[in-house]
Amino acid sequence: MGVRTTVSVLALAIMAASPALAAPSNAKVEAAAKAVQPQVVAWRRDVHEHPELGNQEVRTAALVAKELKVLGLEVREGVGKTGVVGVLKGGKPGKVVALRADMDALPVLEKTGLPFASKATATWEGKTVPVMHACGHDTHVAMLLGAATVLAGMKADIAGTVVFIFQPAEEGPQAGDEGGAKLMIADGALDNPKVDAIFGVHIGPGDANALNYRPEGFYAGADRLTITVKGKQTHGARPWAGIDMASVSADIVQALNQIAARQIDVGTSPTVLTIATINMGVRNNIIPEDLVMSGTLRTFTPERKAEVIAKTQKAVAAIGDRYGAKAEAVFTQPYPVTWNDAALSKWVKGPLEKASPGKVDDQAALVTGAEDFSLYGQKVPAVFVQLGGRKADVPAAGAPANHSPYFDIDEAVLETGVKAEVFMALDYLAKK
């Protein structure tokens, strides 16, 4: 008997044994999550082996849409370019709750050695790059499909509607493009039906099965930094005849490091300013005319963001002037702070404790990572939760972080993620 057949039989048995419209019991959710776990693992491995970059998630979106249609959900495709929205209407009217998973991968060369490791490549900003699910979005897709399977099997017992949002381009679109949560919202992901609240789960290298979050500000706001410098080209043997772009880039990096380390009070609010790429030149003996650098800014308050942007732009322009070049720092693609609704944060600990008893931390530390889930939270009450996925034989201090080419998870925790999503949805619809 296939996994999907097994889940279908279990769902029918649950419905037959339940009084009409009675809320599904914890035991029934536990049993259904356990039954669908092998399929969740299979989905995870499939998506992991075939990763796709932001706004290129064609295969992933097709897989998601197919599985949601098998479950009998109303399905909208092409939302926010490659996004998919599934709608599950319960046995009687009620509130509307949304669950969200992101689908995109990263331009990272996988080094996990897994039998289902990615060998994919793609074009990103004009370059051929390797592609890997280095941030766990493969698990997010699989867990949300698992939650949809469990909830579809309990459809008759649900008073309300569950919306499943499978979002592209969370990591950000290519420069000059648009996508992600912003475009999903513009395309009506939170409308028809109108969503009352939304929940999201993100896997990471924390303790297995831990569910962590905090009220109000949780993940940092992020801005993409691009620095362009126009100088004067010269032969490498005659640096005095032009502008030494290597020296310009070095001075800019040092200046920005000083801003974050010495010019602001990080004790009042964590702040990160990072340069990640430096692009200049094509030959070893030619000093180029152009320099482009890129990086990221992470802050937790609008005031700190404005302060760092002003200092960065002033420092970059001054360095350019000192060398006789024109230098400019531009900040784009802003993500706001991921804000967990205070009242919903207090309430959600109950459903999460059902999913992972004794392993819920509702006062987790601030996270300098960023998430465009924050944009949904600007529209409706939202809570974003971290799921720990570190393998038992991996020391906490040495666990590869998200975006590492070695990032991997203990697949057993996917069952906890499914239960967390199911309990959050069911309990929200049932609460007065």
What are the residue numbers of the active site? 335, 411
Exposed, middle or buried, 54 (CB in 10 Å: 0-12/13-18/19+)? buried
CA distance 64 to 68: 6
Omega into 215 within 30° of 0, i.e. cis?
no
CA distance 308 to 378: 23
Strands 290-299, 216-230: pairing kind: antiparallel
Place of tokens 């592209």: 168
Q: Which two tokens stand for residue 307?
A: 């302060």
Nearest to 407 by CA among 211, 55, 114, 53: 114
Q: How many Å separate Cα 76 from the centre of its chain?
A: 21
**327 has which bridge partners?**
229
CA distance 5 to 16: 17
Helices 58-70 and 137-152, packing angle to 10 deg: 10
Nearest to 154 by CA among 364, 30, 14: 14
* Secondary structure class of 86 (helix, strand, coil): strand
CA distance 87 to 74: 5
Place of tokens 């004067």: 232
**CA diameter of the chain:** 86
Q: Which two tokens stand for residue 262?
A: 């010495």
* Secondary structure class of 229 (helix, strand, coil): strand
CA distance 165 to 100: 5
CA distance 65 to 84: 7
